[in-house]
Structure 1
């Protein structure tokens, strides 16, 4: 397997990502969309998720495809970003056809960033506009680090952020990951420079320091964040033609990548969630082998994307946590 040309989820043809944030609010959102509906699924392992329309992503439900997926800050308020995206899609004539009406399908998930020092005294929910802005500016190239849903994110030690990564499988299938990292746990071994995800790094994408050098693995640190200030939300995607059940299996396997990159992960206080998306451009040549490899690649991509989110975060006035690179270089 090798990294795609952009090392972004948009190495998958047809996918676009839009990000929007408000520096005063210290929050934002991220939208994944495409020119036509795509198969989507979800798997949730955190104990405190916040979601919209995830029930319809079960394989036995009527609607099998979506028009966009949304990751947002703002806790429950951030779910309104999905409404902004849905209205923008409807204005373009997109959505699930019901008689002469179109109903855009826009599942979403949120993370908690309400106590990060930003101005949260709004009179009108700002996430509707942020969602619409992110959707309308979606493109194949986007910024990782302090951007979109990761703009106001934090982790156990470091400032959080938005990350992405990709892999091209030997079969030619492409897998990508997109993640907003706001975890209760830490992405590095204690507060040192070594990422838990180092074993899966490609091309020095988060500093090239390699794994923690000690033979004995240190104990997981106690959380430094307050209860509820957590959640890592992600999307893994492929250009393969998958059923909703196969996409759900890919999302499930991708949680291994989250556990490799964040210690601890999937806690009762995190809302850890992974969407899966499949554009259907490439048929599976060998379904048992291909689906196994897609899940494995999705886990690797997500672990790398998580580390990249923290590595690429940039400092700004009022930060409550340090950024990784000013402390450790790179």
Structure 2
């Protein structure tokens, strides 16, 4: 059976630290994962409306083998500035790949759309995301809160506030896998309008309420519930990171990112729509020194989906109310 790591956070994967910066007036924020040492990375994008930076270099056929940090940000395309702030913080600490005598931190990033959430977006000439990225990088540690924080500050799902979620799993092989998700989908994470999460079969303990599936299932289970039912498409996206301390190649890291998308399917319905920019980064720190045999690797990829589904549910479960919210939080349902 799967069990959680000691924190049930992505930082149970050795070699990773997470930092958040939030602006409650803006109803937005930034989350960054900083690698203690450069980590092998991959990415898989399955949503139809992604917003990204430095993702092409993660493809297995390209030359960069490892990266220094990953950024998840609100703010739609404006939020891509957050990676520059994280880069600045890393550069001040001498972190980066050496190129012609210069240090260049490699910091891929992805954004979600939280402009339409009731926050004050009148920020003047320049958006605040570069400064928020710098602040998040300065705040990294192994413990961090979930819910209405960081990139999940202004996140919304269908009918409920979204949020920042995380979970971890320790496999029988000794390998740890962790997930981090900023949950802002067009679809719903709960069954119909109930308190029950789609990801209930993968829950460990009572980490998102312990309710299981409803019995009987609601009659409107097959009703497709969307965040905003109007003619305006876009305005959504779940962006996430799956990480492990196993030793992986870049190609295997990409396969891990692909497998983690199964967690989106288990936790959100519908998902991977043209109105979502759904994306998963994968990180492999190699800190366990374990290279998995093919059969053991199947367990890793299965755990990627299950752990991601749990992280997504925990993000919505942990959301807290704030002034000006458009949607209620799960705990009020």
TM-score tier by shorter-chain length is over 0.9
Deviation at 1:293, TM superposition (A): 1.4
2:275 maps to what in 1? Answer: 269
Taking the TM superposition and a 5 Å limit, the aligned residue runs for 1:283-302 are 283-302=289-308
Give, in whole Å, the separation in 2 of the partners of 1:58 and 1:221. 34
TM-score (norm 1): 0.97
Q: Deviations over 1:258-309 (max 9, x none)?
A: 1100000000100000000000112345421232111111111110011100
Q: Secondary structure at the match of 1:80?
A: helix
Is structure 2 residue 141 aligned with structure 1 residue 139?
yes
For each residue in 1:97-149, what CA deviation from the matched residue of structure 2 results, as whole angstroms up to 9, or x when unmatched?
Answer: 11210111000000000111111111222000000000111000000000000
User: Which residue in the other structure is 2:155 paired with?
Assistant: 153
Task: Name the SS of the counterpart of 1:196 in structure 2.
Answer: coil
Paired residue for 2:166, among 153, 164, 167? 164
SS in 2 for 1:67: strand
Q: 1:72 and 1:192 mapped to 2: Cα distance?
A: 29
Distance in 1 between the 2:48 and 2:227 partners?
18
Secondary structure of residue in 1 paired with 2:285: strand
- Residue 81 (structure 1) shift: 0.2
1:229 aligns with 2:231: no
- 2: distance between equivalents of 1:89 and 1:134? 11
User: How far apart in 2 are the matches of 1:217 and 1:104?
Assistant: 49
2:261 and 2:244 mapped to 1: Cα distance?
A: 16
| Equivalent in the alignment of 2:222 | 219
1:87 Cα deviation (Å)? 1.1
Counterpart-to-counterpart distance in 2, 1:266 and 1:18: 27
User: Structure 2: which 5+ runs fail to align?
Assistant: none
Tell me the distance in 1 between the aligned counterparts of 2:135 and 2:292.
40
The equivalent residue for 2:8 is 7
Q: How many residues align?
A: 327
Please give the root-mean-square deviation of Cα atoms over the aligned residues, in Å: 1.2
Secondary structure of the structure 2 residue equivalent to 1:102: strand
- Of 181, 187, 195, which residue of structure 2 is paired with 1:179? 181
Indicate if the aligned counterparts of 1:246 and 1:291 stay in contact, CA closer than 8 A: no
CA contact (8 A) 2:23 2:29 kept: yes
Which of 197, 200, 210 is the matching residue for 1:198?
A: 200
Q: Within 5 Å, which residues of 2 pair with 1:82-97?
A: 82-97=83-98
Deviation at 1:211, TM superposition (A): 1.4
**CA deviation string 1:132-167 (max 9, x = no partner):** 000111000000000000000000111000000000
SS in 1 for 2:164: strand
Q: Which runs of 4+ in 1 moved over 4 A?
A: none
Cα distance, 1:85 vs. partner? 0.5
Q: Which residue of the partner structure matches residue 24 of structure 2?
A: 23
Alignment-derived partner of residue 42 in structure 1: 43
Partners in 2 of 1:272 and 1:212 — Cα distance? 27
Decide whether the 8 Å contact of 1:195 with 1:212 is kept in 2: no
- Alpha-carbon separation, structure 1, partners of 2:223 and 2:302: 24
Do residues 68 (structure 1) and 74 (structure 2) align? no
1:191, CA displacement in angstroms?
A: 1.2
> Match for residue 253 of structure 2?
247
CA contact (8 A) 2:203 2:210 kept: yes
Maintained 8 Å contact 1:251/1:276: yes
Q: What secondary structure is seen at the aligned counterpart in 1 of 2:43?
A: strand
TM-score by length of 2: 0.96
Secondary structure in 2 matching 1:307: helix
Structure 1 unmatched runs, 5+: none
Counterparts of 2:13 and 2:98, CA distance in 1 = 26
In the TM superposition, what is the alpha-carbon distance from 1:7 to its structure 2 partner? 0.3
With over 3 angstroms needed to count, the CA separation of the structure-2 counterparts of 1:227 and 1:168, relative to structure 1, is same
| Structure 2 CA distance for partners of 1:241 and 1:220, relative to 1, 3 Å | farther
